Amino acid sequence: MFKSSASTTRYLSRGFAQRRLASTKTVRDVLEEVIPKKQLQLKQLKTEHGQAVLGDVKVEHVVGGMRGLKAMLWEASVLDPNEGIRFHGMTIQDCQKVLPAAPGGKEIIAESMFWLLLTGKVPTEAETRQLSRELAEKGELPEYIEKLIDSLPTTLHPMTQLGMGVAALNHESKFQAAYEQGIKKSEYWTYALEDSINLLARLPALAARIYRNIYNPGKPIPKINKDLDLVGNYANMLGFGDNYDLTEYLRLYIAIHGDHEGGNASAHTSHLVGSTLADPYLSYAAGLYALAGPLHGLANQEVLRWQMSMQKELGDNISHDHIREYLWRTLKSGQVVPGYGHGVLRNPDPRFMALQEFCETRPELLADPIVQLVKKTYEVAPAVLKEHGKTKNPYPNVDAASGCVLYHYGLTQFKYYTVIFGVSRALGCLTQYVWAKALGLPIERPKSLSMDAIEKLIKQ
């Protein structure tokens, strides 16, 4: 059960009050108010606390992928090992209480999460609808992008196609054009914001065209409906517009998956490339290719494949004991249990719990054998992994549940799942791009060492 602290209650109360106001501000208007305060905060941090120590760098950090090293500024979210993700201090459950849904829907939508990530404020209904309208009006793909995507072989991985399409959209970059004209650094963020909104607006049409070309060649793609939210249009263009429950699931999945701190591979890559003053399109294209790796964004399809293999082997009426035996066979064969463990988290992923709660409100999902198997696995796996003793976090992450619901509702093409993740993660990466320019963050350039250099330093 969600338990709110006094500060959270005040925050939520303020959020509900904000929703009641019929504000006509745009996201740019709000940022123009918020950015000077953040710029001052950063200036004070550098001036007054620049020499404060946040932690010691150890050899295990250098040779272990910098895991856990506090070395990156990321404004929109912080990942606590025990509590999970917080967006400007708000948990997923907080967000579900106050962030506007789509008309007729119940789940958080991408626009309200994007607004929160960018501004740190809860948008009103009017502000959310205004942003939805803007994204819909800017959502059509340029003809040259359509021709590019249509020219690609259908055997080319959908993530490769998505990255190519996003990179090619930099032909439209307002940031790049303004930079070439010699704009002041203080103006970078305004062009970064324009590019980010334009890119976010076009991602559904781009992702849907890739899906159509690979899985439903020749099928007409519906036009963007300017009265729908971003994900409502995405589901419609995918061919699932009449499936209310899948659309609601996609809204929830994309909103809560939109940002997960800055240290994950896709966010970090996007931030690194953006620090060179590459435009948001090139920055996020790079992040997408990090997301495409099996150790990152491909995990949800690997989990579903593993669960289906378990179901095929064990048959019907799978008991907890059957699952326990299957888990041990998996571990003893040298394999990992997909969907369990996380680089930071040490408790069940709140995103997993939110998706489980979604399933529990729908009888058709509770009756689905794969959804049941995911739930039963969650009831058994942590104890097995604790006994095994080689997993720091024996609890499920979001990937343990995300794919099975897509599969149930008819989106059964595993290779495409990471594209949906790619549409989602744009919310956080583009937010950070805007803030990196607003705060004047420098190019990222950590110091590297050879093993000989490390040994020399240790001796000294």
Rounded CA-CA distance 180/278 in Å is: 12
pLDDT tier at 392, thresholds 50, 70, 90 = confident
pLDDT of 5 reads 43
Work out the angle between the directed axes of helices 399-408 and 369-388 (0-180°, nearest 10). Answer: 170
- Of 122-126, 184-188, 275-279, 397-401, where does mean pLDDT reach its minimum? 397-401
Sign of the alpha-carbon torsion through 81, 87, 93, 94: positive
Of the candidates 302, 319, 305, the one whose C-alpha atom is nearest the C-alpha of residue 373 is 319
- Which has the higher per-residue pLDDT, 295 or 43? 43
pLDDT tier at 318, thresholds 50, 70, 90 = very high
Give me the amino acid identity at 324.
R
pLDDT in tens, 292-305: 998 888 888 888 99
320: number of Cβ within 10 Å = 11
pLDDT in tens, 401-420: 899 999 999 999 999 999 99
Which ranges of 84-142 would DSSP assign to H, the alpha helix? 92-98, 110-119, 125-137
Rounded CA-CA distance 263/1 in Å is: 29
Span 317-328, average pLDDT: 95
Mean pLDDT estimate for the chain: 92
Angle at 429 between CA 285 and CA 222, to 5 degrees: 65
The full set of domain ranges for the chain reads 1-53+74-440
pLDDT in tens, 434-459: 999 999 999 999 999 999 999 999 99
pLDDT in tens, 65-110: 998 899 999 999 999 988 899 999 999 999 999 999 999 999 999 9
224 in Cβ contact with 141 (< 8 Å):
no
pLDDT in tens, 331-341: 999 988 988 98
Spell out the residues 6+ positions from residue 265 whose beta carbon is closer than 8 angstroms to its own: 290, 291, 293, 295, 296
Q: What positions carry a catalytic annotation?
A: 296, 342, 399
pLDDT of 8 reads 44
pLDDT tier at 155, thresholds 50, 70, 90 = very high
Q: Which helix (H) or strand (E) holds 77?
A: strand 77-80
Residue 11 has pLDDT above 50, yes or no: no
85 in Cβ contact with 79 (< 8 Å):
yes
pLDDT of 132 reads 98
Tokens of 142: 């340029």
Rounded CA-CA distance 99/97 in Å is: 6
pLDDT of 23 reads 62
Give how far Cα 418 sits from Cα of 3, 162, 239, 402, 406, Å.
33, 10, 18, 11, 12
| pTM assigned to the model | 0.92
In CATH terms, the superfamily for domain 1-53+74-440 is Citrate Synthase, domain 1 (1.10.580.10)
